[in-house]
Structure 1
Amino acid sequence: METVVKINGFVNGIVWGPLMLTLLVGTGVYLTVALGFPQIRYFGFMFRQVFSRNKDSKAEGTVSSFAALATALASTIGTGNIAGVATALHLGGPGALFWMLVSAVFGMTTKFAEVTLAVHYREKDKDGNWRGGTMYILEKATGQKWLAWLFAFFTTFAAFGIGNAIQANSTAEGLSLGFGIPHFATGVVIAILTGLVIWGGLKRIADVTTYLVPFMAVFYIIGGAIVVFMHLDLVPGAISNAVHYAFSDPSAMPGALAGWTVKLALTKGIARGVFSNEAGLGSAPMVHAAAIVDHPVRQGVYGLFEVFADTIVICTLTSLAILTSGVLTTNADLTGAQLTLSAFQVVLGRPGVAVLSLGLAMFAFSTILGWYWYGETGATYIFGNKIIPFYKVIWLIVILIGAYGGGGKFLSTIWDMADTMNGLMAIPNLIALLWVSKELRHLVKDFDEKRRKGLL
């Protein structure tokens, strides 16, 4: 295990080094300019699309656009919003929030581009399911099948970390701290519930997440808003610190923790932001590709909303709850979900523990469902549909292992490995986005022209 940790640390230093961060944010900046700032131009249209529930009987697809969004949000709104944000603040200080939001603003365009291209290059598999994503873009648009295979390989195995073991482990930790429920018992329950859903395929996953995601998001937002409201007078100071210490030495801050640096604020802020909203990873497009939609760009707009809701709303709320409650400096030994749990407990007492524990459980369960589809899509691209039953069984076993693993070193190790796999997924995905950016501009231009003419 020590050898694995050392190798992972070496690879992690490369994939999350200066070059990778530049590629991630730089791709978002380039696409933002090249596509005419879609996160601004389509901002109002984005809300109208998401909440109108428009249906087009002539369009092809497997699930509705909103169901695809709900499933994608189920994957992104997970422990990254609670544990990941807390970890970023613990390691990098308040400045991590600033860089998290910067990456999210440009990440909105990155996700928009990913989703648009995934729908444009999607295809049906042998069972009649619509499949799409980076591997199909690379194969069809660039002819680089080896890169497509590499992305599918990373996705197949990254899913077990970012979308499974981490989620199960954080849920077990939260329910153990909140209600004293044994880790393994939590794992068994999650495995059973997950099995009942994933054996029904994408349609059942989408049906469950369509109802679960809005409820869990509102549930957590209300709880977090109460925590922030109780310290409303401290919010301006928290925001000021986030901006100031994004560029200035965080160790100069009163009560600062040892090790806070601008570099860590930047790297951890961007890394946890990407971990949370997954912009640049190429994961969410795999479910958006199954949407019933009349134009690829229309579904791309749902990708804009996905990042907005996940990071700019929910991650910011978590950050402000931690920063205004004071637990970041008074509980220096806490990180991850335990730090956020402490913030809720300071303000709401025992009910706060219950709110966060239940929110964490719902977030993690929904992420496990959404990421199962991504892992299955990667596996079927490599091995064909015959792998699906075996992948399902292994998925459920990993849930049990993740839940039973406990916290401490185990949790930090799987967080680090998940970070590495995120970076490895992002590399071929960003190459695909840049390679096909000309086609992407044509799609956006076509959509805008048809909207002006009233054809869409």
Structure 2
Amino acid sequence: MLQLIETINNAVNNFIWGVPAMICIFGVGLYLSLRTRFLQIRKFPYAIRTTLGRMFRKRDASDGAITPFQAVCTALAATVGTGNIAGVAGAIAIGGPGAVFWMWVSALLGMCTKFAEVTLAVFYHEKNANGELVGGPMYYIKNGLSKKWHFLAYLFAAFGVLTVFGTGNATQVNTITTAVNSALMNYHVISKDAIPTSNLIQGIIIAVLVALILLGGVKRIAQVTEKLVPFMALFYIVLAIGVILLNLNRIPSVFVSILEGAFRPSAVTGGIVGSMLMSVKKGVSRGIFSNEAGLGTGSIAHACADTKKPVKQGMFGIFEVFTDTIVICTLTALVILCSGTSIIYGQAAGAELTISGFTLTYGNWVSLLTAFAMCCFAFSTILGWGLYGARCIEFLFSERITKYFMAAYALVAILGATANLGLMWSIAETFNGLMAIPNLIALFLLSGKVVELTKEYFSGEGKTR
């Protein structure tokens, strides 16, 4: 049965992440970039200045809303996760070093895609029966497009509910248990025989913590993420920069391998990864798994922001993709490629490859710090995706059942800790692709509104920003 599921999933996955998907993702990103005259490049200094400036400005949000800074932290909580550690490692192992280049290209276009998603989500958001601001792809489809396109909103929400249990929860918990067990075994605290018990205990602890935070609503999620995200990101960045500085002499050859591997993978991987398409596929799919540009999920958090300037909040979309992919994913790739750790090309790899890069440079003691970093990354992702799933199920049914959804979502952590999730990673990647389809169609159809709002902001009302 499992073999049949794996065969079906591989067939669907290969179609979704094949040439048509690459054309859609690159195409919509390029189309939006052209229509906004490459806003992500022209206004990049403004985006960084605006986002960093607002991050340090303390303010309270109105009832049922969160501050713009809390919104970006909640969105970053979901994006800066195991995709930055395990996802990048897997992309390099299967797609070669060249996958990193295609990750950069998809991020460059993705900055504009996410800008459009966030801008539309804030512009078309609405208040639910509880007085909370809600929005995202399902709402900008419903409120921005004619009724004949409304089926896309329900498709997105349905795929969203199915995706969160795997992408947002089970795979993240699996990464936490792997990292913790690895560190504990390194110091002989537990043996291999004790791993099932350790996994169960960790799963129960995570489930309880997730339930306590998610059942407190969007404000409690935002309060946790605004403290956790900046700390964990800076912690990981400092740790990674240390590896790069200690292996500085290898950096030029690493960049050569990335650029050469992007167009001639076999020249770098010894023929194991010989397809440029595979390099592009892994770079783009794992990049989107990490930064979510094109998925539309991050905009669900931004729609909760207490702001009357959609375009200004949209700048956070540019900042998020830049931070997540250009900064953190690149640092992970450099840790793997410059540390001298052994990469078996053509074979699946995950967090252990990244951890190996750290331990080869610093020594075994750093495994505790990397395990801690991975736990923070994965836990924050669980919280962010919990909000996304709740909003999707609320759209499909009613806000009255979100509490039950969140309770069920928390319990999935126990399954994620105790089950073998090799297939789950692949299924998660498939559902990510399915979510992207209705969202990309909507972005294409609403591109005119994005251009209109952008022009209005920078030429008129934006003068008083």
TM score, norm. by length of structure 1 = 0.95
Partner of residue 212, structure 2: 196
Counterpart of 1:251 (choices 243, 266, 272) is: 266
Deviations 1:146-167 (A, max 9, x none): 1111110001110111111110
Deviation at 1:28, TM superposition (A): 0.6
CA distance in 2, matches of 1:331, 1:426: 28
Deviation at 1:60, TM superposition (A): 9.1
Alignment of 1:318-337 (within 5 A): 318-329=332-343, 335-337=349-351
1:350 aligns to what SS in structure 2? coil
Partner of residue 403, structure 2: 389
Deviation at 1:353, TM superposition (A): 1.0
Counterpart of 2:85 (choices 60, 82, 99) is: 82
Measured on the aligned residues, the alpha-carbon RMSD in Å equals 1.8
CA distance in 2, matches of 1:267, 1:402: 26
- Structure 2 vs 1, CA of residues 358 and 57 (structure 1 numbering), >3 Å: closer, same or farther? closer
Counterpart of 2:429 (choices 419, 430, 441) is: 419
Identity %: 43
- Structure 2 vs 1, CA of residues 38 and 361 (structure 1 numbering), >3 Å: closer, same or farther? same
2:421 aligns to what SS in structure 1? helix
Letter in 1 for 2:293: A
Letter in 2 for 1:125: N
Structure 1: 5+ residue stretches without partners: none
- Preserved CA contact (<8 Å) 2:263 2:276: yes
Task: Say which is worse superposed, 205-214 or 177-186, in terms of deviation.
Answer: 177-186
Task: Say which is worse superposed, 138-147 or 19-28, in terms of deviation.
Answer: 138-147
Task: Say which is worse superposed, 67-76 or 349-358, in terms of deviation.
Answer: 349-358
Task: Say which is worse superposed, 79-88 or 183-192, in terms of deviation.
Answer: 183-192
Answering whether residue 458 of structure 2 is matched by residue 448 of structure 1, we say yes
Partner of residue 12, structure 2: 11
Answering whether residue 176 of structure 2 is matched by residue 171 of structure 1, we say yes
CA distance in 1, matches of 2:61, 2:163: 36
CA distance in 2, matches of 1:91, 1:278: 20
Partner of residue 429, structure 1: 439
Deviation at 1:282, TM superposition (A): 0.8
1:329 aligns to what SS in structure 2? coil
CA distance in 2, matches of 1:60, 1:114: 24
Counterpart of 1:161 (choices 139, 158, 166) is: 166
1:157 aligns to what SS in structure 2? helix
Partner of residue 150, structure 1: 155
CA distance in 1, matches of 2:220, 2:432: 27
Deviation at 1:451, TM superposition (A): 5.2
Partner of residue 200, structure 2: 184
Alignment of 1:332-411 (within 5 A): 335-405=349-419, 410-411=420-421
Deviations 1:128-159 (A, max 9, x none): 11110111111122122211111100011101
- Structure 2 vs 1, CA of residues 245 and 58 (structure 1 numbering), >3 Å: closer, same or farther? closer
- Preserved CA contact (<8 Å) 1:60 1:294: no
Deviation at 1:433, TM superposition (A): 0.2
- Structure 2 vs 1, CA of residues 60 and 334 (structure 1 numbering), >3 Å: closer, same or farther? same
Partner of residue 193, structure 2: none
1:225 aligns to what SS in structure 2? helix
Alignment of 1:18-417 (within 5 A): 18-53=19-54, 54=57, 62-142=65-145, 143=147, 144-180=149-185, 182-248=198-264, 250-253=265-268, 256=270, 258-329=272-343, 335-405=349-419, 410-417=420-427
Deviation at 1:403, TM superposition (A): 1.2
- Structure 2 vs 1, CA of residues 441 and 330 (structure 1 numbering), >3 Å: closer, same or farther? closer
- Preserved CA contact (<8 Å) 2:141 2:442: yes
What is the number of equivalent residue pairs in this alignment? 449
Deviation at 1:351, TM superposition (A): 2.4
Counterpart of 1:439 (choices 432, 440, 449) is: 449
CA distance in 1, matches of 2:347, 2:399: 46
Task: Say which is worse superposed, 27-36 or 40-49, in terms of deviation.
Answer: 40-49
Task: Say which is worse superposed, 310-319 or 59-68, in terms of deviation.
Answer: 59-68
Deviations 1:335-377 (A, max 9, x none): 1001111111111112221121111000000000000000000
CA distance in 2, matches of 1:183, 1:128: 39
CA distance in 2, matches of 1:111, 1:230: 35
CA distance in 2, matches of 1:341, 1:57: 39
Deviation at 1:186, TM superposition (A): 1.8
CA distance in 1, matches of 2:271, 2:414: 35
Letter in 2 for 1:214: P
CA distance in 1, matches of 2:204, 2:239: 27
- Preserved CA contact (<8 Å) 2:171 2:421: yes
CA distance in 1, matches of 2:206, 2:279: 34
1:291 aligns to what SS in structure 2? coil
TM score, norm. by length of structure 2 = 0.93
Deviation at 1:392, TM superposition (A): 1.3
Deviations 1:384-433 (A, max 9, x none): 0121122012111211101112xxxx333111101100000000000000
Deviation at 1:276, TM superposition (A): 0.3
